[in-house]
Amino acid sequence: MLDLLVRNAEVVDPVDGVFRADVGILDGKIAALIEPGTEADADQEIDATGKHVFPGCIDPHTHMGYKRSFADDVRSESGSAAIGGVTTFMSFHRHYQSAEPKPYDDFPELVDTINRESHIDMGLHFGILTEDQVDELEKYIKLGVSSFKFYMAYRGADGKTVGMINECDDGILFEGFEKIARHSHAVACVHCENTEIIGRRVRQVKEKGLDGLAAWNAARPSFAEAEHVRRAAYFAELTGCNLYFVHIGAKAGLEEAVLHRERYDRLTIETCPHYLTLTEDSDIGNLAKINPPVRKQDDQDRIWEGLINGEISTVGTDHCCVCRADKAGSIWDAAAGFPGMATMLPVVLTEGVHKRGMSLQRAAQITSYNSALTFNMAPRKGTIQVGSDADLAVVDLSLEKVVDPTMLGSASDFSLQEGNTLTGWPVLTVLRGKIIVRDGELLGEPGDGEFVRR
């Protein structure tokens, strides 16, 4: 007897492509992929006729606890993620509310908070900002945190803009890479922006009296991203570590990474929905302030090309729980960041599948499977195969919704997609066999999720 049977599904598997099957679930796992119409007993059945069943999405890039407490963010934003078909997310953790960076001695409390508050499964990356943190890096790997973020930006005055004291220089970066290279499943994640160039550019652009997204792009130029991509890739090659480039939105940054990957292939590239949908000319203003900035149209076109052709492997949202009030004033005053988990999959389906002809299989790869592979969660996560976690997003590819932030369940009071019509939405989200969202309504509870050790 199965616990749940999803009948008449068009399964979208990132490995095997699209095929018809009934999906049988038992004890939180996918127990069977059955020929449609085959008799099978289950406690509960769902008729997915006309729907496509994707592996639950994985968002590899969020920031919980940025403006609010870690617990409050985990509770509200995990629920928002579930509404968008996300069943696993990962947060780049540092001590956002602390004046000084410190070792992650609070790890047990973080795990307890996730297990108590999250609606969906959740993993952590740890920021490496100090000598103490790089000294303890391998201890964290043993605890189940096997990916680490190095901020090549945010030193000095630039760090103060995001409330960060960052001591990570090239020496810490290289030593961190050496330690990560000793563990085949561990990953170095790098925010690539040259902080020295940015510091001078910000002063120069402000002195000209410029404002808006174009000014922000000019102050944090794409070559500052590309230069650090090259440096990080070279360090990764020298040490032999796995390297993950977060939030690549510039043509120059992408092409540097692709060029270096010809000689060292353990490089993975991520982009974000905002780079796929917005440019410096978008009329959304301060709401779209982010680091690195949204770029020009030719950058966006090149990022789409790389996402479709396989140069870019993953989409992560860089989700932060930020509100309109945080965005007040000039571009220089506004906080960076915005929400995005609930609209990640609809954006990929609308802009990628419907408008640009991306295959459904490719959509499943970039929103789920490739993140699972990169961060040591496959085959438990990211695929629809017997033995995998029964994490599913049942999607109506023709369902249109005009985005209103109130329907997304986030504590943020805006969305970058607000007022836009997106086509292709989850109508059911299943976490390890439990239905947690139906027709946009959150049915699950805090504590349904659990910490993912990797």
Average pLDDT, integer, range 67-93: 98
Q: How confident is the model at residue 153 (pLDDT cuts 50, 70, 90)?
A: confident
| pLDDT score for 303 | 99
DSSP letter (8 states) at residue 451: B
Name, in order, each residue with C-beta under 8 angstroms of 297's C-beta and a sequence gap of 6 or more: 279, 281
* Residue ranges of domains in the chain, CATH in brackets: 56-374 (3.20.20.140)
| pLDDT score for 440 | 98
Q: How confident is the model at residue 156 (pLDDT cuts 50, 70, 90)?
A: low
| pLDDT score for 167 | 73
Task: Convert the pLDDT of each residue in 211-258 to its tens digit.
Answer: 999 999 999 999 999 999 999 999 999 999 999 999 999 999 999 999
pLDDT at 163 over 90: no
Any alpha helices (H) in 118-194, and if so which ranges?
131-135, 137-143, 157-160, 170-181
Average pLDDT, integer, range 85-107: 85
**pLDDT above 70 coverage of the chain, percent:** 97
Mean pLDDT estimate for the chain: 96
| pLDDT score for 157 | 61
| pLDDT score for 152 | 82
| Backbone dihedral angles phi then psi of residue 256, each to the nearest 5 degrees | -65, -45
Q: Which of 428, 316, 438, 308 is nearest to 360 (CA)?
A: 308
| pLDDT score for 185 | 98
| pLDDT score for 94 | 86
3-state SS, residue 110: helix
Structure tokens at 375: 């961060």
DSSP letter (8 states) at residue 324: G
Task: Convert the pLDDT of each residue in 314-345 to its tens digit.
Answer: 999 999 999 999 999 999 999 999 999 999 99
Task: Convert the pLDDT of each residue in 353-410 to its tens digit.
Answer: 999 999 999 999 999 999 999 999 999 999 999 999 999 999 999 999 999 999 999 9
* Residue 92 CB neighbour total at 10 angstroms: 23
Average pLDDT, integer, range 437-448: 98
Distance between CA atoms of residues 49 and 7, nearest Å: 7
pLDDT at 82 over 60: yes
| pLDDT score for 336 | 96
Tell me the CB-side half-sphere exposure of residue 170, using CA atoms within 13 A.
11
The dihedral over CA atoms of 414, 415, 421, 427, expressed in degrees to the nearest 10, equals -100
| Backbone dihedral angles phi then psi of residue 164, each to the nearest 5 degrees | -120, 135
Name, in order, each residue with C-beta under 8 angstroms of 284's C-beta and a sequence gap of 6 or more: 213, 278, 416
pLDDT at 97 over 70: no
Structure tokens at 311: 């140069």
Average pLDDT, integer, range 138-153: 94
Q: What is the CA radius of gyration of the chain?
A: 21
Helix (H) or strand (E) holding 9: strand 2-13
pLDDT at 305 over 70: yes
Structure tokens at 37: 């119409």
Any alpha helices (H) in 240-296, and if so which ranges?
251-261, 273-277
How many residues in total does the chain contain?
454
Q: Which of 396, 402, 272 is nearest to 341 (CA)?
A: 272
Number of H helices, E strands in the chain: 16, 18
DSSP 79-118: HHHHHTTEEEEEEEE--TT-SS----TTHHHHHHHHHHH-
| pLDDT score for 294 | 99
Name, in order, each residue with C-beta under 8 angstroms of 333's C-beta and a sequence gap of 6 or more: none
pLDDT at 57 over 60: yes
pLDDT at 158 over 70: no
Strand positions, DSSP E, 174-282: 187-191, 242-245, 267-271
Q: What is the pTM of this model?
A: 0.97
Average pLDDT, integer, range 250-270: 98
